[in-house]
A and B are shown apart, each in its own frame.
Chain A
Amino acid sequence: MATAQVPGDRLAQVRIHLKTRSPDIELPQDTGPILVSTELKRYQLSTLVNRLLDTEKPIPLEFLVNGQFLRTSIDEFLTQNGISAETTLSVEYVKALIPPLYVASY
């Protein structure tokens, strides 16, 4: 890893607290806060939750912060919404909707 570079904002991290309203994809009770790079986007967060759920087949997930879907990196989201990386972010996850085409061809 490039630790020799001048350390800067790119190393920013934020604590997240993951939660969901769907009982079938709830994390184990004892999952505490998780520190992640603010560079993460939906895909990496999805990988993370799937790992924590220990799923056999990955379940595609979407993420909501303050009721808004995360469409950018966490960093961009924080900047756009004026949120400091010092606060623990409450992140809700939901199953990604199955594309309609897939349903039709079933």
Chain B
Amino acid sequence: DTHLDIQDDADTMSIEEARRSWSDHEASTRNLALVLTEHLRLILQPTQATKMRGDFRTGKRLNIKRIIPYIASSYKRDKIWMRRSVPSKRAYQIMLAIDDSKSMAESESRDLAFETLALVAKSMSMLEVGELSVVRFGGDVSVAHDFSTPFTSDAGADVFRQFTFAQSKTDVRKLLAESIELFRAARLKAAGSASDLWQLQLIISDGVCEDHPTIRQLVRTAHEERIMVVFIVVDATAQKAEAAGGPRQSILDLQTAKFVKDAAGESQLSIVKYLDTFPFRYYLIVRDVQELPGVLAGALRQWFAEVVESGG
């Protein structure tokens, strides 16, 4: 059922089909989910370095800054002690944004996208560290599963049903702009301290998107709001097409040809590798779901290292 000319609602799965599809994908990625969970457990664990802090009447160490006010207040302001604080458990909000555009059906990336979804959702639920949402995008953006609803097997099937891979555009600008809003709203609703909330977006797409400068700007905005965006490029057809002796299909081979006006107003042709202007700082190219736990863990590890270093 990979017709190219599917009507928007003609191809939605029945609930039975969706359940079967979800359990198939969940089963085929079960072992990988264990691997990913172990990787993530190590990365997502709160840093154990405890700090001395506070203003307490009793404690382990004197807070030097409090001594002078203490004396000056005739020993009334006596909260001069610090205690070792317990590291708070970090909370995570992870959004999986999956490309629902037609190019995904054409490139047969849909299976890889579904496997990725099943894998990440399973790992997150095993970890029990946070909330998961799923967004689908193409010409429009819509929430297929929101942060506040637990992600069960039924939820997985329900999410699968919403995908058609028939949207006639791939608007990544819109995806980013609307995701930032969704993350802001989710941060406000999150329980506990907002500073312990870590937000991560994983975009799963074949990677072909327009207007790289605007996208780059939006990624920067997300980063400033401490939303990490990782772009997972599913490059599913590459091997198959090449093995069959067909033309090269991989995003690694894709070139962009552009006519740009030079200083004299003459139109000049420039040909560059598509990925040379790719606007995402963290991106991974995955040809096989088996590769995903390793590369995803690598990207997350790098992100956490940077955040910890910058004192965030």
Question: Which A residues are within 8 Å of any B CB, using their own CB?
Answer: 1, 3, 7, 11-13, 15, 17, 19, 30-37, 40, 44, 47-48, 51-52, 84-88
Contacts and interface: CB of A to CB of B under 8 A. Distances in A.
Given A3-B213, A84-B102, A32 B257 contact: no
A86 B106 contact: yes
Given A3-B213, A33-B255, 10 more contacts: A3-B214, A11-B210, A17-B247, A34-B254, A35-B257, A35-B274, A36-B257, A47-B259, A84-B102, A87-B103
B210 to A, nearest CB: 5
Contacts of B168: 84-86
A30 B248 contact: yes
Residue of B208, B269, B271 contacting most chain A CB atoms (<10 Å): B208
Instruction: Count chain B CB atoms within 10 A of each CB in A1, A3, A15, A32 and give the residue with the most.
Output: A32
Contacts of A34: 254-257, 271
Interface in B213-236: 213-214
Given A51-B269, A51-B271, A44 B259 contact: yes
Classify the secondary structure of B's interface with A. Answer: mixed
Closest 9 CB pairs of A and B: A32-B253, A86-B102, A32-B248, A86-B103, A84-B168, A35-B256, A34-B255, A3-B213, A11-B210
A84 B260 CA distance: 25
A54 to B, nearest CB: 12
Given A13-B210, A44-B259, A33 B247 contact: yes
7 contacts: A3-B211, A33-B247, A33-B255, A35-B254, A52-B271, A86-B167, A88-B106
Contacts of A11: 210-211
Contact of B258 (A30, A37, A84, A86): A37
Interface string B242-284: 0000011110011111111000000001010010000000000
B169 interface: yes
Contacts of B255: 32-35
Given A17-B247, A48-B269, A51-B271, A87 B254 contact: no
B110 to A, nearest CB: 13
B173 interface: yes
Nearest to B270: A51
B214 A35 contact: no
Interface in B128-173: 167-170, 173
Contact of B208 (A15, A36, A47): A15
